[in-house]
Structure 1
């Protein structure tokens, strides 16, 4: 039976009962965007707890890794006691990747705002290539290009081949052809004997003297000579795999190494 309220109106008894905790939870939902699962990685002796979404959203390698059923065991990455182990990499390499991946846009700390070094960007290039982070790999390539243009080209060629940045090959080979210093014995190992032989052919194409034995002077210097056509012919097979390289201004490469 309804009973009279303070104002004489009838009021159902159940209406004054507070909703239960279960009723409250029925209305609570996870936000479709801003609700993150975390994953715990172990690299060497360091633990990293990071939003899982950044990894599975941008990398097919991690996406497949996260879909592997754990079986009867506790899923790796769920806690500090059961981290997901990342083998064959160093903690500092992973830190470089995370610095780019999680770079804050607003009010970064001094540590967060610190620019990566050349080696740091190489770490990013290595891991983004290994794990298929295409967008971050592109950032690493674009960031490394102006840095490598100022270095000796042997390292540039080696990085291009190691991480399959084919757009670097032609400008890097051109830089080596223009270098004033001759090829050194210690450069045979990183370049490979075939490259050394081919590069010797390219470098020897520079016209030091005319048919009468008169040496060129003035503007005709190795640093300004255009070896592109010779490089295309000598390294034709390797350059077939190269992506467009027009984005790299060959004229900005430093050819003055001694």
Structure 2
């Protein structure tokens, strides 16, 4: 009788059975016919299991390397696809190398010229292409260059700005007008816009000046008094700020205090008092009318004409 491993009873134990030789070398017994079950493995599924286990223990086959001269796996070149007679083949020749011995030329659009400015003790080197195209800049680079003069070409020979224009002023101007200075700089603060008004007024840059005035008015803090706006208007020659401030000082019920009189000066303080007095007389002659209905704006233009005229854009 055979045991569970297909061996006669009393034979050697299962340690000699082929089941325990998976993955190891197995020599077929003499007279073994291929395809038949090995001794000790009469069941077909067991022989299949052994073959599968042996296959898993073998190292994987490496793919054969292509020969050096084998070009079957390379993609065809564009010229071989298009052919030399097609219209598209000419596109591939646009980037053809030029003769290095030929003349060197500047690109008509992508060759940027830098200009060096000096404001105070600070020098600025900025591309010419982004500078404002109005005011002093509109004529700066159209004037003929005299022999031996190369201002703005090097750090040692910059274009020197007027002494009243500080480095902060010029920096603020560039931040509003030059694309490279604007990039990543964030929004300008009130102080910077006021500096732009100053520079644009000196250099007759009307468009930029109007923009700076508008932006400054947006950023005026609520704590700005009429005297604050008056002083800024006088300093920067903004007629509208002066006109509104004088009108407010004349219309309000409170008189000028000592500090306000000191800030705006004695002559202008007397004119504000005159403005208030005229409004009172006007109301007295018109019974039932309030002095706040007086045409303060018209009288301000008359009393403070000299101040308002400092703004060249002012129109009466």
TM-score by shorter chain over 0.5? yes
Q: Offset at 1:190? A: 4.7
Asked if the contact 2:116–2:126 (Cα under 8 Å) also holds between the matched residues in 1, the reply is yes
Q: 1:43 is matched with which residue: 94, 109, 119?
A: 119
| Residue aligned with 1:23, SS | coil
Aligned equivalents of 1:94, 1:61: Cα separation in 2: 13
Aligned to 1:86: 161
Q: Residues 133-189 of structure 1: CA distance to partner in whole angstroms, max 9, x if unpaired?
A: 222111111111234484112232233333332233332222222445532344445
Aligned equivalents of 1:128, 1:19: Cα separation in 2: 47
Q: Which runs of 4+ in 1 moved over 6 A?
A: none
In structure 2, the gaps of 5 or more residues are 1-96
Q: Is residue 121 of structure 1 aligned with residue 193 of structure 2?
A: yes
Aligned residue runs from structure 1 range 143-222, under 5 A: 143-148=215-220, 150=222, 151-179=224-252, 181-188=254-261, 190-205=263-278
Q: Offset at 1:206? A: 5.7
Asked if the contact 1:43–1:87 (Cα under 8 Å) also holds between the matched residues in 2, the reply is yes
Aligned residue runs from structure 1 range 223-234, under 5 A: 225-227=292-294, 229-234=295-300
Aligned equivalents of 2:147, 2:262: Cα separation in 1: 46
Bigger shift: residues 95-104 or 56-65? 56-65
Asked if the contact 2:117–2:125 (Cα under 8 Å) also holds between the matched residues in 1, the reply is yes
RMSD value, Cα: 3.7
Measured at CA, do residues 38 and 140 of structure 1 come closer, stay the same or move farther in structure 2, by a change above 3 Å?
Answer: same
Asked if the contact 1:55–1:63 (Cα under 8 Å) also holds between the matched residues in 2, the reply is no
| Residue aligned with 2:123, SS | strand
Aligned equivalents of 1:64, 1:103: Cα separation in 2: 19
Q: Residues 217-255 of structure 1: CA distance to partner in whole angstroms, max 9, x if unpaired?
A: xxx7x9xx345x13412532618857469xxxxxxxxxx
Higher RCO (CA-CA < 8 Å; seq separation 6+): 1
Aligned to 2:108: 31
The TM-score with structure 2 as length reference comes to: 0.54
Q: 2:134 is matched with which residue: 51, 58, 82?
A: 58
Bigger radius of gyration: 2
Aligned equivalents of 1:56, 1:97: Cα separation in 2: 9
Query: How many corresponding residue pairs?
Result: 208
Aligned equivalents of 2:235, 2:129: Cα separation in 1: 29
Measured at CA, do residues 189 and 174 of structure 1 come closer, stay the same or move farther in structure 2, by a change above 3 Å?
Answer: same
Measured at CA, do residues 84 and 60 of structure 1 come closer, stay the same or move farther in structure 2, by a change above 3 Å?
Answer: closer
Aligned equivalents of 1:76, 1:160: Cα separation in 2: 35
Aligned equivalents of 2:153, 2:202: Cα separation in 1: 23
Aligned equivalents of 2:138, 2:265: Cα separation in 1: 34
Measured at CA, do residues 101 and 243 of structure 1 come closer, stay the same or move farther in structure 2, by a change above 3 Å?
Answer: same
